[in-house]
Structure 1
Amino acid sequence: MHHLTALVTLLAIALYFYTSINVSRSRVATGVKAPAMSGHPDFERAFRIQMNTLEWMPIFLPSLWLFAIYFSDAIAAAIGAVWIIGRIVYFIGYSKEAAKRGPGFAIQAMASLALWIGALGAVAWRLAH
């Protein structure tokens, strides 16, 4: 079973849900009315945090699950937890100013890459044997 990976998946979804709520709160605080997508830097940063998280979920989640299935649930979950930490660091940094988003972005990108390479390697190894 893949209980740890399931837990990390649920935590990642919770984080994304939080970024969505943050966009709504930012709309109210900055007065940016829907459907506008710009108008205040604080809102624009909140929106980009949510969208960037969404943009990475289709890379992260399949890689996480394929790594868990073909290699290790515990290691997938640990790397997935690093991804979540990276997204939180990204959220905090980018919320302050756009120039501070880099460290969190790098952490989550490296975690995603590790999961993808690990999954690809495990699948390729199984195909070869």
Structure 2
Amino acid sequence: MLEVGPKYAWSLLAATFMNFQCTLAGVGAVNARTKYNIDAPDMGTGRQSAKLTDEEWEDLNRSVRVHMNYVEQLPTAISSVLICGLFYPTLSVCLGGSYILGRLIYGLGYRKEAKNREIGFVMYFVPLLGLMGASVVGITKELGLHRFNWA
């Protein structure tokens, strides 16, 4: 039976920081839409955006994509940090912190130029894979499936 100890609070903190960071990315998208006077529901691909220069359009869309990419990945990241934290709380917070740092670098790079997101992508995607992998290992051990001979 699983028991949640005080170390699990660190995984909860990592998940909370992920939520906060995603919200800040959303603020960045709203700020870009405000800067270019683009009203909802136009997200950079609608009729209002047609009045922008190519540079303005690209800047707006990079801001929106930073946020939307985070929204797309957030359920996987949060569920993985919380599941992993049940079994490996220290690993969970270390990988979760690495994910958060990678997301920060990804967002800052992407905002400047799309090609600048690559380092941040690797920095958040590798820890995400680690969180998912450790979650699977923890779950299979809890279920006793690691004792089976799968060959």
The two structures share one fold, judged by TM-score above 0.5: yes
2:75 matches 1:58: yes
Q: Is the 8 A contact 1:89 1:104 kept in 2?
A: yes
Amino acid of the structure 2 residue aligned with 1:59? T
Do structure 1's residue 25 and structure 2's residue 34 form an aligned pair?
no
Note the residue ranges of structure 1 that are not aligned, 5 or more in a row. Answer: none
Aligned residues: 128
Greater helix fraction, Structure 1 or Structure 2: 1
Residue in structure 1 matched with residue 42 of structure 2 by the alignment: 36
Contact 1:30–1:42 (8 Å) recurs in 2: no
**What letter matches 1:35 in structure 2?**
P
Return the TM-score normalized by structure 1: 0.93
Quick one: distance in 2 between partners of 1:105 and 1:76? 19
8 Å contact from structure 2 (residues 80, 135) kept in 1:
yes
- The structural deviation recorded for 1:32 is 2.1
From 11, 16, 29, give the equivalent of 2:22. 16
Equivalent-residue separation in structure 2 for 1:105 and 1:31 (angstroms): 30
1:113 is displaced (CA, Å) by 0.3
Rounded to whole Å, the distance in 1 between the matches of 2:12 and 2:79 is 12
Q: 2:119 aligns with which of 91, 103, 106?
A: 103
Question: 1:119 and 2:135 equivalent?
Answer: yes
What code does the residue aligned with 1:74 have?
T
- Secondary structure of the structure 2 residue equivalent to 1:65: helix
Q: Say whether residues 1:3 and 2:19 are aligned partners.
A: no
> Highest CA radius of gyration, 1 or 2?
2
Once the two structures are superposed, what CA deviation does each residue of 1:21-42 show, in whole Å capped at 9, x if it has no partner? 1111111112222211213111
- How many angstroms apart in 2 are the aligned matches of 1:79 and 1:66? 12
1:90-109 deviation per Cα after TM superposition (whole angstroms, max 9, x unaligned): 11100001111111111111
CA distance in 2, matches of 1:19, 1:59: 17
Structure 2 CA distance for aligned equivalents of residues 74 and 83 of structure 1 = 14
Q: CA RMSD in A?
A: 1.2
Letter of the 2:34 counterpart: V
AA in 1 matched with 2:66: I
Equivalent residue runs for 1:71-86 within 5 Å: 72-86=88-102
